[in-house]
A and B are shown apart, each in its own frame.
Chain A
Amino acid sequence: MGLRLEAASLRKTYNSNPVLRDCSYAFAAGRTYAFLGPNGSGKSTLFRILALLEQADAGQVNYLENGAALGQNLELRRRFTLVLPRPGIFNTTVFHNVAYGLKIRGVKSGELEVRVREILASVGLAHKRGQRALDLSSGETKRLGLARAMVLAPEILFLDEPTANIDPRNTEIIEDIILRMKAGGRATILMITHDPAQADRLGDELLYFKDGRLLAG
């Protein structure tokens, strides 16, 4: 069955400006959802609320397994991850950035080394493992953010504009990584994009944001 996510009547207002109005959706496990909508329409806010980084003013976020709602604790939080538009790269090497999530989970060094090496190879950053991560190009930084999340093998992966502000070559590489994850079929992927063609290429389902509401495509 796997981990499933449901948004139920989510509402959020910033400075008396309603950003989310009655947002509801049930996301099926293992599918890829592409979110489209204008800037400021509430997509990132919804992602932050779904990823439990922020609280909604009203409504509920439910993570379910075998039909039962799970408690929103650290154990649950470690089963999904969100890659932010600015990934928040740590001032250390590429390797240690990717190893971070594994280290805090207490993964032993041998296994950690293997997993980081594999992921770095899969995002084309193996040759940069010892370099200072803050010196990477913007495209490489996006790939590093993705690698840092993927190495944790999340059951749900939120990608907030994974290809924004990068060149076509890096966009192509990132799309390829996402397609390979999709083919693996293990993770539910929710991604925000401004490119309808990309949403079409990557998404199993397209969701549109309009006036703080979520509309299925």
Chain B
Amino acid sequence: MSDLLSFLGGLDLQELWGIVWLSLWVSAAALMLATAIALPLAALLALRRFPGRDAVINTLHTFMGLPPVVVGLFLYLLLSRQGLLGFLSLLYTPGAMVLAQTILAWPIVASLAHAAIVNVDPVIRQAAVTLGATPRQQAVTIIKEARYGIISAIMAGFGRANAEVGAVLIVGGNIAGYTRVMTTAIALETDKGNFELGIVLGIILLALALLANLALRRLQRRGRGAGLEMSSWA
């Protein structure tokens, strides 16, 4: 116990806070980008029939299992000075890490959101039609019915982004005070045999995941319980 207290007392809290803050910032930005790409695509795939739709869904499911190091390598080649996107000078910046996490998270958000929308009872659409909804209003109604599944999809995307290490290590470079996030810091500290800091960071990472899940559960319970507010339902 006294060992742990002396270890905690010796921690550079400013550095620790910087790592936690950057992790959250990068994951949140990636999640926003991933959601912005994924949700319209999920809705399109769930609500419209078009040639090649099945192929897109299959590709999406395949992308859910993208190996992070492969994404990291691919992105490294794109962002390196000789790469197609080298002119952006993003390599070894938080921006590159956001990009890597976005690539890994959006197929998960899209696939799970697609499943949530597809699973809405078809009678909901029929009810909307019988009540005079336009095709756009029908789509909005169906998406709103799927909202809790969509929130779960976004949280799964956050989990993927937040837990990512391989790709962000390759394109971020784990630079202290600049691109070092919780996962890459844990990997580094473990390599150095500095397990205590790794464990503290791991606990913080888990605590953040727990907080995010509690927020989700709270939202879902609000929807299932009495007094739910959906003032702009239609």
Contacts and interface: CB of A to CB of B under 8 A. Distances in A.
B234 interface: yes
B233 interface: yes
Interface of A: 51, 53, 74, 77-78, 81-84, 86-93, 96, 99-101, 103-105, 130-132, 135, 148-149, 152
A148 B137 CA distance: 16
B130 A130 contact: no
7 contacts: A74-B134, A81-B132, A84-B126, A86-B123, A88-B125, A93-B230, A105-B132
Contacts of B227: 93, 130
B106 to A, nearest CB: 26
Contact of B228 (A53, A83, A132): A132
Given A93-B228, A104-B137, A130-B226, A88 B132 contact: no
B187 to A, nearest CB: 43
B132 A77 contact: yes
- How many chain B residues sit at the interface, stated as a range, is 20 to 34
Interface string B67-104: 00000000000000000000000000000000000000
Contacts of A86: 123
Interface string B119-148: 001011111111111100100010011000
Nearest to A135: B226
A51 B123 CA distance: 15
B132 A74 contact: yes
A82 B126 CA distance: 9
A130 B144 CA distance: 18
A60 to B, nearest CB: 20
A205 to B, nearest CB: 23
B132 A132 contact: no
| Best-buried of B123, B134, B228, B233 by chain A (most CB within 10 Å) | B233
Contact of B233 (A92, A105, A148): A92
A104 B133 contact: yes
A104 B228 contact: no
Contacts of B223: 91
B130 A90 contact: no
A125 to B, nearest CB: 14
Nearest to A101: B131
Nearest to A88: B127
Given A104-B137, A132-B228, A96 B130 contact: no
Given A101-B131, A103-B233, A88 B225 contact: no
B226 A90 contact: no
Interface in B24-44: none
A132 B130 contact: no
Contacts of B226: 130-132, 135
Given A88-B123, A96-B233, A101 B132 contact: yes
A152 B129 contact: no
Contacts of A87: 123, 127
Contacts of A130: 226-227
Interface in B183-233: 223-228, 230-231, 233
B3 to A, nearest CB: 52
Contacts of A100: 128, 131, 141, 233-234
Nearest to B231: A96
A74 B136 CA distance: 12
Given A104-B234, A131-B226, A90 B145 contact: yes
Contacts of A81: 130-132
Contacts of A82: 130
